[in-house]
């Protein structure tokens, strides 16, 4: 990966390392509920962007759907708008399957097999697969588990004797992070399964290049199913808050991920969570985040809060327009940027 992206990745890890002491949001002029309400009011009539339509079921989702949820690292919940309607989690699931592999097999498992470098390309780029192939054997692979090729490979790494066994672990991990039993939106799963030839091609290439060890078809199917899990804004915010609270769901108090695994997960979100717009996002907010083409975005202010917004219309990079704006405003109002360190004692 080019040098400035690597520098950015390092800066993320260093920048995030100092923030774990704070457990709640510091006293701000604006309360979390005021910040959430203000962003909802400001963007509720914004009409920019367009639903994803390369998965036909996503084009049918109500473009007006708009829900915001913020869950603090000590489990307080603040919401505005529609926090009940479920959309498909899509690429946000990549964070939790990556985390599950890291939990099971350690931080090096993902770094050595897939890599933790931004590709600077679109999430389903095949050119990115071809260009990283060239550096195989010359150090760790330069891919990451948040773009489709790396995500399908990460799904293939979840251990289990059968497809059902692997699936039960994947959905179980998502359930624990959300704090409730989630289900697959069958219409989305069918629609994406019928139209995911590009991901099948990516799965086959990842087997050919050694990222997937066997059965790429199973990996693509399970990946498609995990992308079709139904979530509402509160589920997503709780999942984000689990990362903000060092890997323990702050609402249920269930430990999902070891605390020492969380900074690695957040670092990949910071460098690659919004794809080729990750740098712009980080520059404006400082927050590790992840988007999905279903219209959700999660963001994490470590030690402080997790936040999620659902709004289906996307920009050209595949990120929800209203979600980016609302999260940036709310985090800025609450002092969520981990790089904006306070002077000691202030």
Interface with ligand DON (CB under 6 A): 90-91, 123-124, 148, 192, 199, 227, 291-293, 318-319
Q: How far is the CB of 116 from ligand DON (least distance, A)?
A: 18
Q: Which residue has the tokens 């059902």?
A: 164
Which CB atom, from 224 or from 248, has the smaller least distance to ligand DON?
224
Secondary structure tally for the chain: helices H, strands E: 15, 7
Which CB atom, from 7 or from 183, has the smaller least distance to ligand DON?
183
Q: Which residues 6+ apart lie within 8 Å of 35 measured at CB?
A: 70, 329, 330, 333, 334
CB burial class (10 A; 0-12, 13-18, 19+) of residue 105?
middle
Q: Which residue has the tokens 């985390």?
A: 99
Q: How far is the CB of 187 from ligand DON (least distance, A)?
A: 14
| 73, two tokens | 């690292």
Q: Which residue has the tokens 């498909």?
A: 88
Q: How far is the CB of 194 from ligand DON (least distance, A)?
A: 13
Q: Which residue is nearest to ligand DON (CB)?
A: 91
| 169, two tokens | 């672990």
Cβ neighbours around 8 below 10 Å, total: 20
Which CB atom, from 88 or from 249, has the smaller least distance to ligand DON?
88
Which CB atom, from 184 or from 227, has the smaller least distance to ligand DON?
227
Torsion of Cα atoms, 128 then 134 then 136 then 142, to 10°: -30
Q: How far is the CB of 125 from ligand DON (least distance, A)?
A: 11
Q: How far is the CB of 117 from ligand DON (least distance, A)?
A: 18
Q: How far is the CB of 318 from ligand DON (least distance, A)?
A: 4
What is the three-class DSSP state of 299? strand
Which CB atom, from 292 or from 303, has the smaller least distance to ligand DON?
292
Which CB atom, from 68 or from 87, has the smaller least distance to ligand DON?
87
């Amino acid at each position: 990966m080019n040098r400035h992206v690597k520098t950015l990745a390092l800066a993320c890890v260093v920048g995030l390392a100092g923030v774990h002491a704070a457990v709640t949001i510091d006293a701000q002029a604006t309360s979390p509920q005021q910040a959430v309400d203000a962003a909802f009011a400001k963007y509720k009539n914004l009409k920019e962007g367009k639903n994803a339509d390369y998965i036909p079921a996503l084009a049918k989702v109500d473009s007006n759907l708009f829900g915001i949820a913020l869950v603090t690292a000590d489990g307080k919940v603040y919401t505005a708008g529609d926090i009940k309607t479920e959309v498909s989690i899509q690429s946000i699931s990549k964070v939790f399957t990556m985390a599950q592999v890291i939990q099971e097999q350690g931080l090096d498992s993902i770094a050595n097999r897939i890599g933790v470098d931004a590709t600077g390309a679109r999430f389903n780029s095949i050119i990115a697969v071809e260009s990283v192939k060239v550096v195989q054997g010359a150090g760790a692979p330069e891919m990451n588990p948040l773009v489709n090729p790396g995500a399908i490979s990460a799904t293939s790494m979840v251990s289990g004797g059968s497809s059902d066994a692997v699936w039960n672990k994947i959905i179980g991990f998502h359930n624990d992070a959300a704090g409730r039993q989630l289900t697959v939106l069958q219409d989305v799963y069918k629609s994406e399964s019928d139209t995911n030839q590009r991901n099948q091609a990516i799965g086959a290439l990842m087997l050919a290049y050694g990222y997937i060890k066997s059965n790429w078809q199973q990996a693509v199917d399970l990946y498609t199913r995990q992308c079709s899990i139904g979530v509402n804004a509160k589920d997503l915010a709780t999942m984000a808050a689990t990362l903000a609270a060092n890997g323990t769901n702050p609402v249920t108090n269930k430990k999902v991920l070891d605390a020492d695994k969380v900074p690695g997960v957040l670092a990949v979100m910071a460098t690659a969570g919004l794809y080729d717009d990750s740098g712009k996002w980080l520059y404006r907010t400082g927050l590790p985040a992840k988007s999905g083409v279903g219209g959700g975005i999660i963001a994490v202010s470590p030690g402080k809060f997790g936040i999620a917004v659902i709004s289906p219309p996307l920009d050209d990079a595949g990120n929800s327009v209203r979600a980016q704006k609302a999260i940036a405003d709310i985090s800025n109002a609450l002092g969520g940027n981990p790089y904006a360190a306070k002077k000691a004692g202030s």
